[in-house]
Amino acid sequence: MLSRVANTLYWMVRHVERADNLARLIDVNQQLLLDHERLDSERLRDFWQPIILSTGDDAMFNTLYDHAGGPEVIRFLSDDTRNPNSIISCIGQARENARMVRDQISDELWEALNALHLFTRSEEAVRLIAEDPPRYYENIRRSSETFLGIAAATMARNEAWDFMDLGRHLERADKTTRFLDVVNYLPIAEGGGEPGALHWSAILRSCGALGAFRVGGRAPDARGVADFLIFSREFPRAVRYCVERVDASLHRISGTPRGMFANEAEREAGRLLAELNFGTLDDAFAEGLHTYLDTLQDRFNRIGDAIFETYVLLPERAVAPPGSESRSLAELSTWQMQQQQQ
């Protein structure tokens, strides 16, 4: 597969996943605001500012807007084309990527993405953002889920699928940490104390995790929700689950046996997966949940950079694995040790 095609497929799905998660992120805040019947304008600002901070786009927002109120944040993240990470921009970029690789994707997948693109630029979308934002974000989420479902049902399980699956799970892992991090930016409640069950339930609901979490019979508190969304092996939006899928996709692409690595992307993903497999919630809270989540986001960025350097830039310094001919695991292990020593 051409590196240009691989990169285009990777970002096509990653942009759709980002738009879906932005809609969910705003839903987190709207759910949290239901817990407060009376808020003055300053307190409302304190509840919307965390959304911008958690996305990492606060510098751009501050250059475009003077006030971090609900309407401003909603417009910035929804239909402001000046923000390259807004929903309308993400869907537009995803659709452009799909147009460039029409021969690599199914007709049904193109039609679903094109329909979502047309919706975000329609008068109906403008009306819903102004009059009924929850309905707008519900449409974005359902359309994104439809896109991913059609991809799963109509795409062959080849390299194209692996790069799409890689982009989806890397983006999803990053956004799950940002859902959890919203709580760290929230203003302290008037009576003091930690965020309550309603706050944590809102985060679970926005991740689509409330039902799966309830099956375990745990209380929706800080430790229970953080443990589920970070360390769960079964829930598809949990960080550990997503990193495992990232690691599996990378090894299918390169053909390297799992537990070994042939490039920096596989090394970074494998190391992070091992830390999640053997880490505990106590480790995360001992470090500080906010610091721990920031560290995870930095690791995701490093994996993304390594993927780009390995499969798109193809730098001369990249060392290829031993010849294309069949090699034994012993030979491959010896080669890996040499690369580690270098």
- The structural domain count of the chain equals 1
What does the pLDDT read at residue 69?
79
Distance CA 239, CA 234 (A): 10
What does the pLDDT read at residue 46?
64
Residue 191 domain boundaries: 3-320+328-341
Within the chain, which residues score under 70 in pLDDT?
31-32, 34-47, 185-196, 314-342
147 neighbors 16 (Cβ within 8 angstroms):
yes
What does the pLDDT read at residue 112?
96
Neighbours of 255 (CB within 10 A): 9
Q: CB neighbours of 255 closer than 8 A, spacing ≥ 6?
A: none
Q: CB neighbours of 230 closer than 8 A, spacing ≥ 6?
A: 176, 177, 180, 238, 239, 240, 276, 281, 284
Q: What type of residue sits at position 341? A: Q
What does the pLDDT read at residue 25?
84
